[in-house]
């Protein structure tokens, strides 16, 4: 796949050329860049991120007695616990992996996010999972 980038070489004195020159440049899809980012972090860091995200869900459920958590709530808890920024896209990726291995479940009934106020389908850990993976 190629994208067309339009380049207009500048004329002396700052004026642009009359006609733009088309030059094909490689395009990257979201799938390509996501795959590259995932490959770049390595399995050990990926597993660590999954565990930290799961621990955030557990902490929110235990400490706050919340039955479930949105991605933004998990992001906020992660940043509170680890004193570093995490992108909500990274949280989403790790939550997806935790859902795939049944460490987390997703609610089908939406509710308002406690951070954004938007309707979300939050995730939660079952009590047996919380105990099995206790730190």
Per-residue model confidence (pLDDT) at position 5: 42
The tens digit of pLDDT for each residue in 75-132 reads 999 999 999 999 999 999 999 999 999 999 999 999 999 999 999 999 999 877 766 6
The pair of structure tokens assigned to 127 is 């009590």
Q: Which residues of 74-95 are buried (b: 16+ CB within 10 A; e: fewer)?
A: bbbbbeeeeeeebeeebbebbb
Q: Which helix (H) or strand (E) holds 90?
A: helix 88-100
> How would residue 3 be classed by pLDDT, with cut points 50, 70 and 90?
very low
Q: Could you count the other beta carbons within 10 Å of the beta carbon of residue 17?
A: 11
**Interatomic CA distance for residues 81 and 45, integer angstroms:** 17
Question: What is the reported pTM?
Answer: 0.69
Per-residue model confidence (pLDDT) at position 1: 45
Asked if residue 1 lies in contact with residue 25, where contact means CB atoms within 8 angstroms, the answer is: no
The tens digit of pLDDT for each residue in 33-86 reads 666 766 777 888 889 999 999 999 999 998 888 899 999 999 999 999 999 999
Q: Where are the domains of the chain?
A: 42-135
The CATH number of the structural domain formed by 42-135 is: 1.10.10.10
Of the candidates 87, 96, 95, 109, the one whose C-alpha atom is nearest the C-alpha of residue 55 is 95
């Amino acid at each position: 796949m190629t994208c067309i980038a339009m380049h207009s070489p500048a004329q002396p004195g700052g004026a642009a050329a009359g006609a733009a020159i088309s030059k094909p440049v490689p395009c990257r899809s979201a799938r390509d860049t996501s795959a590259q980012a995932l490959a770049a972090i390595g399995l050990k860091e990926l597993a660590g991120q999954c565990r930290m995200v799961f621990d955030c869900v557990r902490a929110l459920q235990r400490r706050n007695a919340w039955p479930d958590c949105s991605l933004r709530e998990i992001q906020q808890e992660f940043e509170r616990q680890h004193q570093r920024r995490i992108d909500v896209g990274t949280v989403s990726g790790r939550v997806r992996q935790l859902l795939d291995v049944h460490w987390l479940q997703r609610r089908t009934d939406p509710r308002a996010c406690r951070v954004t106020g938007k309707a979300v389908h939050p995730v939660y850990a079952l009590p047996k999972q919380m105990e099995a993976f206790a730190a």
